[in-house]
């Protein structure tokens, strides 16, 4: 699993409203978990008991630090402590030191040398859970992970060394530069390009799979979200749309057909 995005997590100022938005939009079934000390919600695709994403409240302390509503990705690693230390020793930063989540795994919050934040996790796989997750590419899952970098060419080697990613197709985006896709083994999992000047800092963005892009956009709008860009066809024939949920978190929709 090393180098695979295994979890995506929403931090929002209004979990109840976010639940009412993402549940109908992506067909997710929410479950409120009994986490000691704070509330945590998981989202599952119908028919698969293990969640594909999670949600927690954005605390006042986080707001005070300037952290906005956001989606974060978790990358599986063999050794959280080792990979976090490598982040720091190679120009990145550790925002939250490695710690255990009882029964779940060990995680850390880190940033690459250009400031893009992601979480690392060594999961503890529960007994008997094999086959409880939907297959990659299923509706309701994250189908693509995208880095908007300060300079993707400079940060590429950093990620390749940490996670074993390999370059895949490179797409000429004209004035926007090159969009470099990457894979782990034989499966494409994401892409990276340079952020535009109006973007305040580098960040990771995530694309949720829906059956058809136009109907998903209509649903998203009716639920109170905003369309920021698209729909736009990308190489390979898929369609994408950049969106913002009612609480201000940025996310993307993607579909194989319009």
For the segment 20-57, what is each residue's pLDDT rounded down to a tens digit? 999 999 999 998 876 666 788 999 888 777 788 999 99
Whole-number Å distance between alpha carbons of 76 and 122: 6
The per-residue pLDDT for 127 is: 47
Q: Which residues have a Cβ under 8 Å from the Cβ of 178 and sit 6 or more positions away?
A: 152, 170, 171, 172, 193
> Which pLDDT tens digit goes with each residue over 78-100?
999 999 999 999 999 999 999 99
CATH 3.10.180.10 location in the chain:
5-123, 142-255
Residue with more model confidence, 35 or 73:
73
Q: 5-123 maps to which CATH number?
A: 3.10.180.10
Predicted pLDDT of residue 47:
76
User: Cβ distance 144 to 124 under 8 Å?
Assistant: no
Degrees, nearest 5: CA angle 17-19-24: 110
CB under 8 A, 24+ apart: contacts of 151-158? 151/114, 151/194, 152/178, 152/180, 152/192, 152/193, 152/194, 154/113, 154/114, 155/112, 155/113, 155/114, 155/116, 155/192, 156/180, 156/192, 158/90, 158/91, 158/92, 158/112, 158/113
* % of the chain surpassing 70 pLDDT: 94
Q: What is the CATH T-level fold of the domain 142-255, as seen in this structure?
A: 2,3-Dihydroxybiphenyl 1,2-Dioxygenase; domain 1 (3.10.180)
Nearest CA to 150 out of 109, 199, 83 is that of 199
Taking every pair of Cα atoms in the chain, the longest distance, rounded to a whole number of angstroms, is 50
Over 90: is that where the pLDDT of 230 sits? no
Q: Mean pLDDT across the chain, nearest whole number?
A: 90
DSSP helix, strand, coil percent of the chain (3-state; round to 5): 20, 45, 35
Mean pLDDT of 165-194: 92
C-alpha–C-alpha distance, residues 204 and 250, integer Å: 10
3 state DSSP class of 161: helix
How far apart CA 93 and CA 85 sit, in angstroms, is: 9
**pLDDT above 80 for 71:** yes
Q: How many residues does the chain have?
A: 258
247 pLDDT above the threshold of 60:
yes
Which residue from 86, 120, 71, 116 is spatially nearest to 244, judged by alpha carbons? Answer: 71
Report the candidate in 256, 139, 142 with the shortest Cα–Cα distance to residue 204. 142
Which residue, among 133, 127, 143, has the nearest Cα to 73 in the 3D structure? 143
What does the pLDDT look like over 106-140, one tens digit per residue? 999 999 999 999 999 998 865 445 456 667 677 88
């Amino acid at each position: 699993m090393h180098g695979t995005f295994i979890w995506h997590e929403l931090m929002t100022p209004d979990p109840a409203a976010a639940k009412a938005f993402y549940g109908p939009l992506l067909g997710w079934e929410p479950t409120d978990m009994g986490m000691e000390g704070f509330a945590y919600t998981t989202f599952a695709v119908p028919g698969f008991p293990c969640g594909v994403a999670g949600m927690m409240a954005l605390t006042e302390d986080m707001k005070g630090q300037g952290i906005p509503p956001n989606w974060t990705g978790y990358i599986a690693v063999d050794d959280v402590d080792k990979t976090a230390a490598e982040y720091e020793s190679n120009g990145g930063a550790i925002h939250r030191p490695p710690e255990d989540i009882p029964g779940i795994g060990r995680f850390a919050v880190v940033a690459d040398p250009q400031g893009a934040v992601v979480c690392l996790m060594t999961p503890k796989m529960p007994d008997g859970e094999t086959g409880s997750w939907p297959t990659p590419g299923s509706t309701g899952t994250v189908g693509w992970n995208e880095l908007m970098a300060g300079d993707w060419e400079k940060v590429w080697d950093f990620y390749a060394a940490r996670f074993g990613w390999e370059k895949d197709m490179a797409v000429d985006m004209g004035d926007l530069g090159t969009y470099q896709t990457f894979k782990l083994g034989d499966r494409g999992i994401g892409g990276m390009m340079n952020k535009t000047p109006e973007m305040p800092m580098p960040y990771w963005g995530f694309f949720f799979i829906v059956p058809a892009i136009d109907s998903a956009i209509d649903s998203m709008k009716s639920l109170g979200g905003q369309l920021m860009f698209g729909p736009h066809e990308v190489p390979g024939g898929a369609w994408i749309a950049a969106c913002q949920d009612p609480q201000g978190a940025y996310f993307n929709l993607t579909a194989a057909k319009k």
